[in-house]
Amino acid sequence: MDWSAPIDLYCERAGTGLWSEPLNAWSNLAFPLAAL
């Protein structure tokens, strides 16, 4: 088992970068904005 291999076994993931999960990235950015 390669512990450093990226996991891409689910549908939303498009790659290994920050924007490979766009919905997740935008929702994570929305939390601090909503707290303001």
Could you report the per-residue pLDDT of 1-36, keeping only the tens digit for each?
788 876 666 666 667 777 777 888 889 999 999 998
Whole-model pTM? 0.47
Residues 6+ apart with CB under 8 A from 20: 13, 14
Query: Which pLDDT value is given to residue 10?
Result: 65
Residues 6+ apart with CB under 8 A from 12: 21, 23, 24
pLDDT value, residue 4 = 81
pLDDT of residue 9: 65
Model pLDDT, residue 30: 93
